[in-house]
Structure 1
Amino acid sequence: MPGSCQILYEDNHLLGIVKPVNIPVQEDATGDADLLTLLKEDVKRRYDKPGNVYMGLVHRLDRPVGGAMVFAKTSKAASRLSESVRSRSFRKVYLTVVHGRLPAQNGRLRNILLKNAKTNTVTVVREGTPGGKEAILDYTVLGFTEGFSLVKVDLLTGRSHQIRVQLAHAGCPLYGDQKYGASVNKPGQQIALWSSLVGFPHPVTKQEVELISLPPRQYPWDLWSEELQERALR
């Protein structure tokens, strides 16, 4: 698999994998190898398929973020998964390490976000701002140590850079995030944001599918036990 990319789930309709960090999901201006192309090539090779391989992108992760992702292997599966995303029956749960403490152990953050396509940055704006989009997430603080909090995030909307912007706006920028937490992070640090659970009704069988991936056992993730992180996803 590309970049030691682990397969979490595969059938005729779906491919669930662990996205490696620092690989773009799809082709971007850098021209670097992208996950979508690598997965198509891998499926073509593994199944000895002639011609072009279909691989549908139904959700995205920022380039520096790793973890569970699902791709559609047919256009029908892609259409049904996209509908699950729209109807919010597609569940996205992240683990992240942030600086400081959030105001409560459990809470909901709701903001209006505005993206600047030229600078590829997102800011929190006032309600009614033209182009602003509602962003909602629920969070649970799982632990606090050495000035950092381990936080579980249930993403209820899928806005660009949403978790990074909303938590930074709440006073708790993500560990390693140079874009929204440059004042408290050092260049070269890997952002501590991981797609830990993706859940959805199977596009054909309708049975619930859950893809689970835990962050790597390295700093700052290893400040907390793997058991605690795993338990939080159940």
Structure 2
Amino acid sequence: MKTTPQNLQVLYEDNHLIAINKRAGDIVQGDKTGDIPLSEIVKEYLVKKYNKPGDAYLGVVHRLDRPTTGIVLFAKTSKALPRLNAAFATKEEVCKRYWALVEKKTIPAEGTLTHFLVRNTSQNKSYAYQTEKPQSQKAVLTYKVLATLTHYLLVEINLLTGRHHQIRAQFAALGCPLKGDLKYGAKRSNPDGSICLHARTLELLHPIKKEPLSITAPLPESFNNLLKKIISDLL
């Protein structure tokens, strides 16, 4: 289902911020496809909600890959945007945790993954290496296995760096690509075209109020269908 102002799932909103639960297939910002981006849909939602006579201000703070779901945060004021940009760049006051379903393989219950990623722009893909390569960027994340399913592992991931397709490339390098992620070696696609990567929680210091803010995004059906009978306590 395409996102519209009418079915937009707002997770949090105040005078300065709005957080959306992004659906698979949505693009956060306009690209060469010409598809309507989530940023424009949120603007239309704000114009209608507050009866604004003109365009609504909205600043894009960060992005998610098109097939990824979960929390996307936008700034509603020019005062909040630069502060959020700085916080996300340094990661000192921002913690983003992702949930992913990866193909089952024997890996430690928790750990740190460190790779060097080389981006291939023509393929829109990143390749992960154990050692530094020309034009590579260091990529680091920590993970914890939350549950073991019949064919998949549910893992929680904390990104310590923000690289192109980082989670997808690093877990593919382990031999356990994300469910539905054909680009990185999954055996089959998901019916809705998604990959099982979900921006689950976002914790940050509010840029204006300077108070801790925690946002959690409900899981999409691509997760729930596998998880609801097994780990309902986690949902």
Is residue 166 of structure 1 aligned with residue 166 of structure 2?
Answer: no
Read off the aligned partner of 1:45 and give its amino acid letter: K
For 2:229 and 2:25, the matched residues in 1 are separated by: 22
What is the TM-score when the length of structure 1 is the normalising length? 0.90
The equivalent residue for 1:81 is: 84
Distance of 1:3 and 1:118 partners within structure 2: 36
Q: Which moved more, 1:215-224 or 1:139-148?
A: 215-224
- 1:135-174 to structure 2, matched below 5 A, reads 135-174=139-178
Q: Counterpart in 1 of 2:123?
A: 119
Cα deviation 1:127-169 (Å, max 9, x = unaligned): 4423211111110001112121011111111111111110110
Partner of 1:131: 135
Contact 2:58 2:77 in 1 (8 A): yes
CA RMSD of aligned residues (A): 1.8
CA contact (8 A) 1:93 1:153 kept: yes
Q: Is the 8 A contact 1:68 1:212 kept in 2?
A: yes
Map of 2:232 onto structure 1: 226
Q: Would you say the 8 A contact 1:92–1:198 is kept in 2?
A: yes
Q: 5+ residue gaps in structure 2? A: none
Give the equivalent residue in structure 1 for 2:97: 93
**For the structure 1 residues 102 and 43, does the alpha-carbon distance in structure 2 shift closer, same or farther, using more than 3 Å as the test?**
farther
Q: Which residue of 1 aligns with 2:75?
A: 72
Which amino acid in 2 is paired with 1:81?
L
Normalising by structure 2, we get a TM-score of 0.90
Select the residue among 211, 216, 227 that pairs with 1:212.
216
Which amino acid in structure 2 is aligned with residue 178 of structure 1? Answer: L
Once the 2 structures are TM-superposed, how far is the Cα of residue 51 of structure 1 from its aligned partner?
2.5
**How many percent of aligned residue pairs carry the same amino acid?**
38
Q: How many matched pairs? A: 228
1:202 pairs with 206, 217, 222, which one? 206
Q: How many angstroms apart in 1 are the aligned matches of 2:121 and 2:204?
A: 30
Which AA in structure 1 matches 2:68? V
1:147 counterpart letter in structure 2: H
Question: How far apart, CA to CA, are the structure 2 residues paired with 1:84 and 1:14?
Answer: 14
Distance in 1 between the 2:106 and 2:38 partners? 34
State the alpha-carbon separation in 1 of the partners of residues 229 and 155 from structure 2: 13
